[in-house]
Structure 1
């Protein structure tokens, strides 16, 4: 089984690659090749020299000929431009998110038309597809049946990709699945350009003895998922068998991964509980209207019954999220 991960050098991509290399199997079959694709430096798992790993470095659209030079069985499409940079640079977001995703889907379609395997494509969606509108406010609890009304270019681009994947799947060109990710916290490493990046920063930086800025009202509630639960959810939705009945994936609706709902104030209080006043006092509140407009438009409470039917549950509390980060990154960021 030849598996491809796009955006493999990103935070979630690295964790997903590491999980697949530990398991050496996917959906009960041995992995024969793990192709890691990104335009930046290779992830740590690649530099370890594992014989299963194949590296493809460069722009994804330009690299698809190499990626599909041999049959692809499963493709995890994680490569994307993130929220704040899509607001800053519209053309970047359209190319990185919409144009690139369509090129990936066309390559998968061409493989099927030529008689190759029908690619199973897992797309990393986002809760940014949801947003309130004066004529159609968000319900108190959002589910997969809630009409998406994105309030950002990033959310709009993600929604366009969801619809493309659903139609390519309906037409039989590929087997597409969409997992709508919650905001992943705590992300290790350097901050990225996501509007939600501060949600990791207000934990990660103080734990390293560094100051952090919170650009939103601490009363704001957000929907989060730990890195471990996020990767678990991506793999599970990719492996769920097609068909009707319990535990099977029927139709083309995205699946909302489980959400832990907390306020930013609760997050800072948990930081204080874990690391004391000195760490918590490193967080300063400095509202940024641009960030608040994006993050504040996202829903915070979700109906996760579909995910639960596949055995997926949210993190039990934010304390467990912070303790997981501390355990995984003791001695560094």
Structure 2
């Protein structure tokens, strides 16, 4: 089985590849388990630090159709499409967001269609597709109403994936991810970057800024559960997807204040006091348009799982520091 991972040098891409190389195999489009013979790790920068001989690192512009065609032509069995321009950057640079988040995704679907072997395709969507007047707990039937370019771009991808799957060109699954926390590394340009930052930086003795109100409600998922759910999404038989190809994943609904309280309880006052509140209207506008809680009934029925307590997310990150 040959697998393509886009965005391979990113946090989730690397984590996914590290998990895949430990797997005995994945199921193919016929439901038969196959050993993984090759993983093509695609990104604009090289994935480093993974020496498994099955991993082939390729670097290039995913929006370049000719370059992308040279990869898809290799009869890929499965695709994990994680490459994306993050929310804040997509809002600041409309053309770049459309080029990478929409145009490149459609090109990938088109090239998969041209190959003609109906590969499994797993993409990540976002709660940013929602907006407007929302119920306190969002049901799976909630109408999409994005309030940002990023949310609109993710909604377009969801619709494209569903239609390409309906027509039998790909066997797609779009996993609508909660905000992933706590991410290691450095802050990025996502509007949600502060969610990890207000935990990650203080635990390393660095001051952090929280740009939203402590009452802001967030929908979170740990990195570990995110990777588990990506693989589960791939492994689901298409016949199980009775309520559509786009799935709101389970998460943990917590306020920013609850996150800070948990940080204080776990790490103490000196650490928690490194977080200062500095409201940023642009970030607040984006983040407050996102739902803070979901029913995720469909996903739970399919076997997807989220974390049960904010302490688990914080303690999970602390383990990576040791």
1:309 deviates by 1.4
Counterpart among 201, 222, 225 of residue 229 in structure 1: 225
Counterpart among 61, 64, 77 of residue 63 in structure 2: 61
1:307 deviates by 1.5
In 2, the alpha carbon distance for the partners of 1:306 and 1:268 equals 31
Q: Please report the TM-score for the alignment, with normalisation by the length of structure 2.
A: 0.95
* Misfit runs of 4+, over 4 Å: none
Match of 1:203 in 2: 199
1:251 deviates by 5.0
| Contact 1:5 1:37 survives alignment (8 Å) | yes
In 2, the alpha carbon distance for the partners of 1:144 and 1:178 equals 14
In 1, the alpha carbon distance for the partners of 2:106 and 2:76 equals 16
Counterpart among 23, 44, 48 of residue 49 in structure 2: 44
Confirm whether residue 304 of structure 1 aligns to residue 309 of structure 2: no
Q: Which SS does the other structure have where 2:313 is aligned?
A: helix
| Contact 2:5 2:81 survives alignment (8 Å) | yes
Match of 2:131 in 1: 131
Q: Which SS does the other structure have where 2:192 is aligned?
A: helix
In 2, the alpha carbon distance for the partners of 1:262 and 1:251 equals 27
Counterpart among 219, 234, 249 of residue 238 in structure 1: 234
Match of 1:122 in 2: 122
In 2, the alpha carbon distance for the partners of 1:41 and 1:242 equals 33
Match of 1:326 in 2: 318
Q: Which SS does the other structure have where 1:159 is aligned?
A: helix
Confirm whether residue 291 of structure 1 aligns to residue 283 of structure 2: yes
1:24 deviates by 4.0
Q: CA-to-partner distance for each residue in 1:165-215, whole Å, 9 max, x for gaps? A: 111111111111100000000000011110000000000000000000000
In 2, the alpha carbon distance for the partners of 1:181 and 1:43 equals 26
| Contact 2:73 2:115 survives alignment (8 Å) | no
Match of 2:152 in 1: 156
Confirm whether residue 145 of structure 1 aligns to residue 141 of structure 2: yes
Match of 2:39 in 1: 34
Unaligned runs of 5+ in 2: 28-32
1:89 deviates by 0.6
Aligned residues: 315
In 2, the alpha carbon distance for the partners of 1:329 and 1:111 equals 44
Confirm whether residue 316 of structure 1 aligns to residue 314 of structure 2: no
Confirm whether residue 103 of structure 1 aligns to residue 103 of structure 2: no
Over the residues paired in the alignment, what is the CA RMSD in angstroms? Answer: 1.1
Q: Which SS does the other structure have where 1:51 is aligned?
A: coil
Match of 1:264 in 2: 256
In 2, the alpha carbon distance for the partners of 1:33 and 1:143 equals 39
Confirm whether residue 175 of structure 1 aligns to residue 177 of structure 2: no
Match of 1:220 in 2: 216
Q: Which SS does the other structure have where 1:176 is aligned?
A: strand
Q: Which SS does the other structure have where 1:195 is aligned?
A: coil
